[in-house]
Chains A and B, each alone.
Chain A
Amino acid sequence: MKKSYQSFGDNSINDMRQVTYRNLTTRLLFLGLLFLLTFSTSLFSQDADPVKGKALFNVNCAACHSLDKKITGPPLRGVEAKLSDEQGLDRDWIYAWVRNSPAVLKSGDTYANKIFEEFNGTAMTPMPQLSDEDIDNILAYTATEKVIPPTPDLGTIGATQSVEGGISNEIILGALAILFMLLAIGLYLVNKTLRRFAVAHAVEIPVVEKSTPLWQAFVKNQFLLLVTAIFFLLTSGYFAFGYMMQIGVDQGYQPVQPIHFSHKIHAGDNKIDCKYCHSSARVSKTSGIPSLNVCMNCHKSIYEYNGETTAEYNKEFYDSEIKKLYAAVGWDDDEQQYTGETQPVKWTRIHNLPDFVYYNHSQHVTVAGLECQICHGPVEEMEEVYQYSPLTMNWCLECHKKTNIKTEGNAYYTKIHEELSKKYDLDKFTVRDNGGLECGKCHY
């Protein structure tokens, strides 16, 4: 999945590194505005590097500027040409604006003030750290033509899927079935022909005397009957037990959610830390379903999906899911402001522990330092999340029995661990040794 960086990389929006810079909004805005006011292409310096420019853009500008869409700041594609053509502003003006926009505003520059008003007085953060060369590079990047994202090759994907799926297997099975049928018909025909020959040649076919049918013999044999009955009962008992034990165990439970949130894209492709969104897992008993304002930290500027798609989950599909988010949180993407009309999302809960079990995420995540994947499985590969673990008591206890407590660096355990290891000669200190199998530790 890493390749998405390269293949679709020309649209930086997909690069989640910008998340780190989300707080720099205002600072970045100024930079973007500067680009808007840039000079004409004629001044385009020949040695400017759009690849370097893209990197700089992603780091410094992308939180507020998109190439093609007005977000916090204006779109920047072809900004230099536009400024030069429409406003007659040259590259020096852009340099000045990027490095110190308040000064430009103060100087009474007409266009600067006009654009400042247009964006409701949102100031663009000055970026004095950018050199002329950096700005040139960024401008080179903004001057690149829009590349229409390649539509996924449906044929290839279909073929790949069919290999993974059962289609070819079915064909093989079908072919085999036909083959066997043909063989059976052939044999029957041969037999029939041979009999005809035998009758025709008056060959005596010895009649096999019918012995007692097998089932009658079976019924008469009391011992065999008993053994079979016992065997049958045991087997059905075994399966019944297996079935019963599955009741209430929802391993693999994969409900359809009101918004198709792809953990694969977020945690997999973009490598967002689980605890960025599920932040309460660090301090609380619940991992917490992220509130929608957390989504908007990124999705304020990520308004479309430009990653890898499949036939089922294409760009339109994902874009419409982002629209659902906007509807729920009450974000007007055109006006770039909140409407205040919210519709809380009713997610379907996947991991349901019974009421009588107390489970605390922070105990496992923060204190024990466990990876989320240990219980939740490869979430970063799940398009839709399902329950990976059975969440049965046995499953909990198995882990408690063999897992060592992370005592290093935790002053709480130091004394207890010392005393225990002295007394019982333990070098390993499992959850069990700390009373992790006691009923009351989880049931209260």
Chain B
Amino acid sequence: MSSNKKYWKSVEELNENNSFMIEALKHKEFVEEIPVDEFLGDKDTLESSSTTRRDFLKYVGFSTAAATLAACEGPVIKSIPYVVQPEQIIPGVANYYATTIANGYDFASILVKTREGRPIKIENNSLATSNNGANARIHASVLDLYDSNRITGHKKKGEDSSWTELNNDIVQKLSELKDSSKTIVLLTQTFASPSTSKLISEFATKYNNVRHVVYDAISESPAVEAFENKYGERGLANYDFSQASIIVSVGADFLGDWQGGGFDAGYAKGRVPKHGKMSRHIQFESNMSLSGAKADKRVPLTPTQQKVVLAKLYSKIVGSAVSGILPAHIEQAVDKAASELIKAGSNGVVVTGIQDVNAQSVVLGINEKLSSKAFDPSTIIKTRLGNDKAVTKLVADMKSGTIGAIIMSGVNPMYTLPNASDFAQGLKNVDLSVAFSMKEDETSSLTDYIAATPHYLESWGDTELTKGQFGLIQPAIRPLFDTKQFQDALLLWNGSNATYHDYIKRNWEENILNGSSWNQALHDGIFVGNGSNSESIEDTVEDLERTTLNINAAARNLASATSNGFELTLYPKTGMGDGQQANNPWLQEFPDPLTRATWDNYLTMSEADAKELGLFLEESTFFTEARHDADGGLNGKYANITVNGVTIKVPVMVQPGQSKGSVGLSFGYGRTLGLKTEMQTGVNAYPLYTNFNTVQNITIEATSGKHKFACIQLHNTLMGRGDIIHETTLEIFNSEDHRKWNPMPQVSKDHKMIDVTSPGANLWNEFDSSIGHHFNLSIDLNACTGCGACVIACHAENNVPVVGKEEMRKSRDMHWLRIDRYYSSEDTFINDDEKKDDSKGLGNTLIAFAELENPSANPQVAFQPIMCQHCNHAPCETVCPVAATSHGRQGQNHMAYNRCVGTRYCANNCPYKVRRFNWFLYNGNDEFDFHMNDDLGRMVINPDVVVRSRGVMEKCSLCIQMTQKTILDAKRDGREVRPNEFLTACSAACNSGAMMFGDINNKKDDIVALKDDDRAYHLLESVGTKPNVVYQTIVRNTKEA
């Protein structure tokens, strides 16, 4: 039933006439033959060459001999032990420290793995009850510590300076300003830190006229305002999606970074069918987002329509009539969603991402009316407290010259402000400007002083991410450079000699711990207490008018929203967030879960619009204007987009599922200062972020040029074999036998059909894995949200090299773990077409419905993490001429790099395309100027995993270094391995519980049940490779209640 569905990865796969490139890409690594004739065909050139054949052979002989001789003498290696070894550090043994990341955009309780005092990896803190899931960016944040572009000391007007000099100057200036009429402004990120708030209020008391402006680069200000209006406290309502049986989202990418993110774990819990039940998710949105990709029903519409939808939902649930016109099919969808919500009552929940106080108030109203169990206004989220109005006012005040000093920390307004030029002018009118920054970036390079700040892994701090959930930040390494923390500086300026550590400790012991142990809290990294209400001077400036209006009026306002022309929705990309980590090569190379493009941002556009505007590159064999180059690299056209008079040139990418009439562009790219040349990618979308509104009216104009994307969506395809994704609906799942919806492929033996897994169908001798450990990895496609935390965790754990945009484009990515994204629509495409034909004449509704079902207009999406499947009958093993890849009894397919001679036969024979070839030496090579070519960047390397060299094949090892470590620990303790003790980097990083790893010979491990689950299937079962990675069939809750 389900396997009739066709899955596709790119729009041109749908075009049956024009599939040259696709077929070619499926079957060949390169579409064109290698042009041997070009350099060997011309006899004259060859003969005139100065290097004769004899010379050539001489060179070869000489270099071989030289290399051999050079290899004879081993290098002298020095070992330098500690003079006084710290008590806790044992060389070769990892230490873990609990800390919290709070960089203004990402907030989470984490564990830091350190080796010999170097932080090398971020793990989830399982003790934390909230914000305990690190996303891809947080996993990558450890590399920011070793960023070679960090400033190594303080600067004064661009010159190297010292803290003493800086401090003296600043203190003098501040004391002058203290008695003047000018204001001292602290412009900071959201710290969500009780101690910092206390410090700042002390600072305000000391220096009078102090204003604290909290600024989030990507603002949730309207939601904060709506919440404050209703509940009287600045913050955001918390949601627990595991409590909801129906989730309706209007433009909220709550699996992404919506309201700080971190909702995916709860969501995934409700999405795994248990006792025949799972939650239902309806998504109304413009851009294709992670949440839309997971939705059971996704309705693409423009941002303006979103507002109307929300208003109508409100009117239907709460009961206050609103006007507003919607296309019939959307109207219908809204009706159904509303009736489903009403039916579900307190099991329903509505969320929205519309940056509008009205919309946010309406959502609070709906959830209150539903008395939704998933909606929790009491545990307030405190990680997005930025105040747009205060920021706007600040810029105006700076320009008018009433600001005496501005001290910034954790912000980069020159990059992130839409009116950055105003800010720059304002800076000139300010007597004292100080930026606490790790970089000489867009903002700090314009300030009088740059105070070099430590990375969060070198700092002390505390957090209160949600009300009552306290966290501590502790350093995991000594500061690498001459740095000063913002809070330490405040302490100095407040006239205290205490360190920030002492200050936090005292504050916690007095106000937070309630007699509990500080050491325990520090050990755990978290403390659950009563919510703090520490006085804060965050600019709640009274004279800023506050919108107070009743919700009915809000709904009416929403319903009246109209728009003409294209609407742009700005969004943060999963890999890049607000752009503060733009110099992180892991994140740059992280493929976007949806477009699978790396090293770039782009204007996402529906196919229909692209064709209309002449921005669609047709398939062609002439490579100048084609969608793909000979090497398979994706191309795009450029468009000039204009918002409020600001025009920028962006590449266009056709995004299936993008609502017609809307386009999307991501934040976080286009940085120019404080980062390596390679990382200066994409365009800056912040100048379009007028009035901190993510939705803007936009005009689009095609322009010349061809953009080269590094998009890996068509790379390493599964050779056109179907049967990759199994999916079914909840109805069928509940009513039918699993052999119907999750069929086992059959083969004919002696004219009888038998299961491909039955012993009779086996071509090979079985490995005996019945004794000892036998590892399996289960991946639940229902729970996987495509967030990519596993991808970065794998990078960090296994020293996977970064190859750069050019190499990515050539399909030479080194990701051991990739998350394939498949699009599909109802049934097959041929059926689709028929359906479309049939629907003609049946009225507008059906036509619209048919349009909606046009595969590329609104596809269903499936994410599938793919790594080495560790086949028990591995095709790669049999073709290796040097037996470099071999089978282990524990189920892992081993790869001995030192044995590999680089024939690449294994990669050719792998049906899953998971093997990666080292085309170059990526470490210590300045051609690859990322992080492995400098001493600082190399500090992140995991010493337990070898750094591969040029010319060898590499692939996922199922983290054999981790499984071996677990075994060794058990042996050393003289005990059996505990249930579920085995982990891989990806399974440990998975917040949604989609990846479960374990030993199938240990009956206490969860994996045992998962392996034999009704939903379980192996990838390309029919090939008979018997993988040790098992996938769980997707179940979609499509039935409208």
Binding site for B on A (CB under 8 A): 247-248, 250, 253, 255, 280, 283-286, 288-294, 328-330, 342, 344-349, 352, 354-356, 358, 360-363, 366-367, 409-416, 419-420, 423, 434-435, 438-441, 443-444
CB-based contact A291/B83 at 8 Å: yes
**Smallest CB-CB separation from A281: which chain B residue?**
B92
Q: Is B327 an interface residue (CB 8 A)?
A: no
Partner of B74, one of A294, A329, A352, A366: A352
Distance in angstroms between the alpha carbons of A253 and B875 in the assembled complex:
43
Q: Is B886 an interface residue (CB 8 A)?
A: yes
Q: Is B480 an interface residue (CB 8 A)?
A: no
CB-based contact A360/B968 at 8 Å: yes
CB-based contact B93/A283 at 8 Å: yes
Distance in angstroms between the alpha carbons of A382 and B74 in the assembled complex:
23
Give every chain B residue within 8 A of A347 (Cβ-Cβ).
78-81
Q: What's the minimum C-beta distance from A338 to chain B, rounded to whole angstroms?
A: 9
Partner of A349, one of B79, B771, B899, B971: B79
Q: What's the minimum C-beta distance from A185 to chain B, rounded to whole angstroms?
A: 46
CB-based contact A362/B968 at 8 Å: yes
CB-based contact A362/B889 at 8 Å: no
28 contacts between A and B (CB under 8 A): A280-B92, A284-B93, A289-B79, A289-B81, A290-B81, A291-B84, A292-B82, A293-B84, A346-B78, A346-B79, A347-B81, A348-B76, A348-B77, A352-B77, A355-B946, A360-B968, A363-B968, A366-B972, A410-B971, A410-B974, A411-B976, A413-B971, A416-B771, A435-B889, A435-B890, A440-B886, A440-B894, A444-B961
Partner of B81, one of A292, A348, A411, A438: A292
Distance in angstroms between the alpha carbons of A285 and B969 in the assembled complex:
12
Give every chain A residue within 8 A of B82 (Cβ-Cβ).
291-293, 344
Q: Is B898 an interface residue (CB 8 A)?
A: yes
Distance in angstroms between the alpha carbons of A415 and B898 in the assembled complex:
34
Give every chain A residue within 8 A of B957 (Cβ-Cβ).
440, 444
Q: What's the minimum C-beta distance from A88 to chain B, rounded to whole angstroms?
A: 44
Specify the main secondary structure of chain A where it touches its partner: loop
The answer to whether residues A435 and B897 also contact, given A346-B80, A349-B79 and a CB cut-off of 8 A, is no
Give every chain B residue within 8 A of A354 (Cβ-Cβ).
898
CB-based contact A439/B886 at 8 Å: yes
Give every chain A residue within 8 A of B71 (Cβ-Cβ).
247-248
**Number of cross-chain contacts by CB at 8 Å:** 158
CB-based contact A443/B92 at 8 Å: no
Give every chain B residue within 8 A of A291 (Cβ-Cβ).
81-85
Q: What's the minimum C-beta distance from A378 to chain B, rounded to whole angstroms?
A: 22
CB-based contact B92/A255 at 8 Å: no
CB-based contact B92/A288 at 8 Å: yes
Partner of A440, one of B78, B892, B968, B970: B892
The answer to whether residues A292 and B84 also contact, given A255-B76, A356-B898 and a CB cut-off of 8 A, is yes
Q: Is B787 an interface residue (CB 8 A)?
A: no
**Smallest CB-CB separation from B884: which chain A residue?**
A439
| Residues in B873-922 with C-beta less than 8 Å from chain A | 884, 886, 888-890, 892, 894-899
**Smallest CB-CB separation from A405: which chain B residue?**
B971
CB-based contact A355/B947 at 8 Å: yes
Q: What's the minimum C-beta distance from B548 to chain A, rounded to whole angstroms?
A: 62
CB-based contact A293/B83 at 8 Å: yes
Q: Is B274 an interface residue (CB 8 A)?
A: no
Partner of A284, one of B80, B91, B974: B91
Partner of A438, one of B77, B78, B770, B886: B886
**Smallest CB-CB separation from A393: which chain B residue?**
B898
CB-based contact B976/A415 at 8 Å: yes
Give every chain A residue within 8 A of B884 (Cβ-Cβ).
439
| Residues in B915-961 with C-beta less than 8 Å from chain A | 944-947, 957, 960-961
CB-based contact A440/B81 at 8 Å: no
CB-based contact B889/A345 at 8 Å: no
Q: What's the minimum C-beta distance from A439 to chain B, rounded to whole angstroms?
A: 4
Give every chain A residue within 8 A of B898 (Cβ-Cβ).
354, 356, 443
Give every chain A residue within 8 A of B945 (Cβ-Cβ).
444
CB-based contact B85/A411 at 8 Å: no
**Smallest CB-CB separation from A288: which chain B residue?**
B91
The answer to whether residues A285 and B92 also contact, given A346-B80, A411-B974, A439-B886 and a CB cut-off of 8 A, is yes
Q: What's the minimum C-beta distance from B545 to chain A, rounded to whole angstroms?
A: 62
Q: Is B705 an interface residue (CB 8 A)?
A: no
Distance in angstroms between the alpha carbons of A438 and B957 in the assembled complex:
13
CB-based contact B772/A416 at 8 Å: yes
Count of chain B residues with a beta carbon within 8 Å of a chain A beta carbon: 50
Q: What's the minimum C-beta distance from B341 to chain A, rounded to whole angstroms?
A: 51
The 4 A-B pairs of least Cβ separation, nearest first, read A440-B894, A284-B92, A291-B85, A291-B82
Distance in angstroms between the alpha carbons of A175 and B83 in the assembled complex:
56
Give every chain A residue within 8 A of B967 (Cβ-Cβ).
412
| Residues in B964-986 with C-beta less than 8 Å from chain A | 964, 967-968, 970-977
* Additional A-B contact list (20), CB under 8 Å, known A284-B92, A435-B889: A280-B92, A283-B93, A283-B972, A286-B91, A292-B81, A293-B84, A344-B83, A356-B898, A358-B946, A367-B972, A411-B976, A412-B976, A413-B971, A415-B976, A435-B772, A440-B895, A444-B894, A444-B895, A444-B957, A444-B960
**Smallest CB-CB separation from A361: which chain B residue?**
B92
Q: Is B72 an interface residue (CB 8 A)?
A: yes
Give every chain A residue within 8 A of B770 (Cβ-Cβ).
419, 423
Give every chain A residue within 8 A of B895 (Cβ-Cβ).
439-440, 443-444
Q: Is B46 an interface residue (CB 8 A)?
A: no
CB-based contact A443/B897 at 8 Å: yes
**Smallest CB-CB separation from B77: which chain A residue?**
A349
**Smallest CB-CB separation from A249: which chain B residue?**
B74
Q: What's the minimum C-beta distance from A370 to chain B, rounded to whole angstroms?
A: 14
CB-based contact B961/A358 at 8 Å: yes
Q: Is B90 an interface residue (CB 8 A)?
A: yes
Q: What's the minimum C-beta distance from B1005 to chain A, rounded to whole angstroms?
A: 14
**Smallest CB-CB separation from A290: which chain B residue?**
B81
CB-based contact B892/A349 at 8 Å: no
The answer to whether residues A283 and B90 also contact, given A439-B899, A444-B961 and a CB cut-off of 8 A, is yes
Give every chain B residue within 8 A of A440 (Cβ-Cβ).
886, 888, 892, 894-896, 957, 960
Distance in angstroms between the alpha carbons of A360 and B91 in the assembled complex:
12
| Residues in B50-85 with C-beta less than 8 Å from chain A | 71-72, 74, 76-85
The answer to whether residues A247 and B899 also contact, given A280-B93, A285-B92, A286-B91 and a CB cut-off of 8 A, is no
CB-based contact A412/B888 at 8 Å: no
Distance in angstroms between the alpha carbons of A346 and B83 in the assembled complex:
11
Q: What's the minimum C-beta distance from B205 to chain A, rounded to whole angstroms?
A: 41
Partner of A356, one of B77, B80, B897, B968: B897
CB-based contact B85/A294 at 8 Å: yes
Give every chain B residue within 8 A of A330 (Cβ-Cβ).
83
Q: What's the minimum C-beta distance from A242 to chain B, rounded to whole angstroms?
A: 14
Q: What's the minimum C-beta distance from A430 to chain B, rounded to whole angstroms?
A: 14
CB-based contact A412/B970 at 8 Å: yes
Q: What's the minimum C-beta distance from A408 to chain B, rounded to whole angstroms?
A: 10
Q: What's the minimum C-beta distance from B921 to chain A, rounded to whole angstroms?
A: 13
Distance in angstroms between the alpha carbons of A362 and B957 in the assembled complex:
23
**Smallest CB-CB separation from A293: which chain B residue?**
B84
Give every chain A residue within 8 A of B79 (Cβ-Cβ).
289, 346-349
Give every chain A residue within 8 A of B90 (Cβ-Cβ).
280, 283-284, 288
Distance in angstroms between the alpha carbons of A413 and B972 in the assembled complex:
11
Q: What's the minimum C-beta distance from A402 to chain B, rounded to whole angstroms?
A: 20
Q: What's the minimum C-beta distance from B115 to chain A, rounded to whole angstroms?
A: 11
CB-based contact B772/A292 at 8 Å: no
**Smallest CB-CB separation from A258: which chain B residue?**
B78
The answer to whether residues A248 and B74 also contact, given A412-B976, A435-B888, A435-B890 and a CB cut-off of 8 A, is yes
Distance in angstroms between the alpha carbons of A405 and B899 in the assembled complex:
27
Distance in angstroms between the alpha carbons of A347 and B83 in the assembled complex:
12
The answer to whether residues A348 and B78 also contact, given A435-B772, A438-B888 and a CB cut-off of 8 A, is yes
| Residues in B362-413 with C-beta less than 8 Å from chain A | none
Give every chain A residue within 8 A of B975 (Cβ-Cβ).
411-412
The answer to whether residues A443 and B888 also contact, given A284-B93, A410-B974 and a CB cut-off of 8 A, is no
The answer to whether residues A345 and B81 also contact, given A288-B92, A355-B947 and a CB cut-off of 8 A, is yes
**Smallest CB-CB separation from A416: which chain B residue?**
B772
